[in-house]
Copies of this chain bind each other. A is one copy, B any other.
Amino acid sequence: MRLSTFSDYSLRVLMYLGVQDDRLVTIAEIAAVHDISKAHLMKVVHQLGLNGHIETVRGKGGGIRLARPPREIVVGSVIRQSESDFALAECFAANATCRIQGACCLPAILNEALNAMFLVLDGYTLADLLQRPRGLVPAAACALAVCSAEGLHD
């Protein structure tokens, strides 16, 4: 049982931006620091933008930054938005084939468990994830940070 890579990367992007003091950051920079796919990150950044968590400044010297203070970005909301679904079991899906669906009480119990999980995640914000800010900017980022931003999609 695990979160999608999309959720994982969404949180990594937000944490990275959360310690930049409004500095504009390129996707290339985050991809290099985390050693993850730039193509995948572009989709993540696009979605974070649609959800109002980050904003994009286009053109030369452009990049991305948080669109709101870290304390206003709720971890539970980010995960809800970035997971494709919460079908804990096959019977949650629209095309479920389980022969006992309708009679089985499992979906109600799994939903209750899922709600309990999100009650915890909704109690934390990005600010809570930034408690140890120094470690959230890996050493590899130091060299990158001094480079001028080269545009969002470099």
Contacts and interface: CB of A to CB of B under 8 A. Distances in A.
Given A134-B103, A136-B104, A88 B3 contact: yes
Interface residues of A, number: 54
A117 interface: yes
Interface string A1-44: 11111011001100100000000000000000111000000000
A113 interface: yes
A87 to B, nearest CB: 6
A146 interface: no
Interface string A116-154: 111111001000111111111010100000000000000
A57 interface: no
Greatest chain B CB density within 10 A among A8, A75, A88, A100 is at A100
Copies in the complex: 2
Nearest to A133: B103
A21 B102 CA distance: 22
A72 interface: no
Contact of A1 (B88, B130, B135): B88
A3 to B, nearest CB: 5
7 contacts: A11-B106, A33-B99, A99-B138, A104-B132, A105-B132, A109-B128, A116-B119
Interface of A: 1-5, 7-8, 11-12, 15, 33-35, 75, 83, 85-90, 92, 97-100, 102-106, 109-110, 112-114, 116-121, 124, 128-136, 138, 140
